[in-house]
Structure 1
């Protein structure tokens, strides 16, 4: 089962994870089995992952490639609005294009974040 971990992390944390991935790719360390998508802030995450876009991701989870019309049918929304949401998810790198349409290549979504007190 492939899980996408969505998280909020600093640029430094993202760069450390990238460095680890590069080391693993060159055989210098063990590969990480985690697939993750990071946002720099809560606000940035919510600009991309709105409730309606999360609903789209949910219906696409584990389904393989789907046409945009099929995604709209599954969420019960207007094609034009779903098309715009899919384009945002595509341009953000959350979902991918395929020959058959669009695909969210994960079986699960895990959203991880922390909320700290204001200073």
Structure 2
């Protein structure tokens, strides 16, 4: 199962930087570094800006039905091609949408786990 971890915390940038620094030091010392699939957001608003209801719908659709093109995906969703293209580009940056070996758009993640920190 492929899983992504999403964390919402005011200290998100510091946490991400600490993880990168730790991995860098381990790699420099010749130790293996396990990859992580973690996304950090500094606030609930930042998360909601990226994972909108329409994008959530797009992810669910792609999970069930890979699309041969953005146009085909837009048609399947009943949405405007330009807006779907924008959504796919944003989700590709996060690693939530990819192209498979055949070039089809897919949602490669089986599960997204999230944690939202409310207090320091």
When normalised by structure 1's length, the TM-score is 0.69
| Long gaps (5+) in structure 1 | none
Q: 2:112: which partner in 1?
A: 109
Give the length in aligned residue pairs.
Answer: 116
Give, in whole Å, the separation in 1 of the partners of 2:66 and 2:21. Answer: 30
Give, in whole Å, the separation in 2 of the partners of 1:63 and 1:20. Answer: 38
Q: 1:80 aligns with which of 70, 78, 82?
A: 82
2:105 alignment partner, SS class: strand
CA RMSD of aligned residues (A): 3.1
1:60 alignment partner, SS class: helix
Q: 2:61: which partner in 1?
A: 59
2:34 alignment partner, SS class: coil
Give, in whole Å, the separation in 2 of the partners of 1:79 and 1:56. Answer: 12
Report the Cα offset of residue 79 of structure 1.
2.6
1:68-119 CA-to-partner distances (Å, cap 9, x unmatched) read: 13332443333332122112323455434566143433222222212349xx
* Change over 3 Å in CA distance of 1:73–1:21 after alignment to 2: farther
Contact 2:5 2:112 in 1 (8 A): yes
* Change over 3 Å in CA distance of 1:107–1:92 after alignment to 2: closer
1:7 alignment partner, SS class: strand
Equivalences for 1:1-119 in 2 at 5 Å? 1-9=1-9, 10-23=12-25, 25=27, 27-28=30-31, 31=34, 34-61=36-63, 66-91=68-93, 94-97=96-99, 100-116=103-119
